[in-house]
Amino acid sequence: MARRKDPAVRTLLLERAARMLRDREPITLRSLVEGTGVSTMAVYTYFGGIDGVWRALRQEGFTRLAARLEALVVPADPVEDLVAGVAAYAVNALEHPDLYRVMFDATVELEDIDAAEATLGYLVRAAHRCRDAGRIGADVDPARLGTDVWTVCHGILSLIVSRVASRRTLASGIHLLTAVIVAAGDDPALCRRSVEAGWIALRPPQGSTATASTSTR
């Protein structure tokens, strides 16, 4: 009779692999299970080997992002909705920086590429709402706008996660996202309010500036 798999063991090994990656520790069968209380056989049971760990690790980042997007309460304001989507993306990256780094490692295959690409779909759908509501130009491609706002957020997060800039750099997201959406046709004042409402979860501490800092604290 096949042994029942415990999801907690799979999560334990994935999180340990992420920490080892962060600490630049070599990941082998033995080093991965060290101190976990499980045997090296668990790596084969849950992942089919080390290569499977890397694939699962990359997929896990998108799985957690998808869960966060699904949990969002969709606001009536479509621009706020669009920005709330990238804010959720950012929160996921800041909470799981090790997984975030692996998410975009193209040298590792994804277990489910469609599921990963679906996370961008939230932004595209929100951009469609923006166009339908007349907040952006009728000729604006929602897929392009969704990609543009994602690119802005990804750039900021890459600086923070790699410790080139501090979290204060998040403040620049309001200005940059407003510029992108205004360029797509939205009213500047209305856009600014919507962006601020959507970005609220990522506002830096009161009194901080939008200037990038090389400090990691």
pLDDT band for 213, please (50, 70, 90 cuts).
very low
* In the chain, alpha helices (H): 7-22, 29-33, 41-47, 50-70, 78-95, 97-103, 113-132, 142-161, 172-183, 188-199
What mean pLDDT comes out for the span 191-211?
70
d(Cα 135, Cα 154) in Å, to the nearest integer? 24
Characterise 186 by phi-psi region: left (phi > 0), alpha (psi -120 to 50), beta (else): beta
Each residue's pLDDT tens digit, 92-133: 999 888 888 888 877 777 777 888 888 899 999 999 999 999
Each residue's pLDDT tens digit, 121-180: 999 999 999 999 999 999 999 999 999 999 999 999 999 988 898 888 999 999 999 999
d(Cα 104, Cα 110) in Å, to the nearest integer? 10
DSSP state of 51: H
d(Cα 192, Cα 198) in Å, to the nearest integer? 10
d(Cα 50, Cα 188) in Å, to the nearest integer? 50
| φ/ψ (deg, to 5) at 202 | -115, 10
Place of tokens 């009161």: 206
Each residue's pLDDT tens digit, 12-62: 998 898 888 777 788 889 999 998 899 999 999 999 999 899 888 888 888
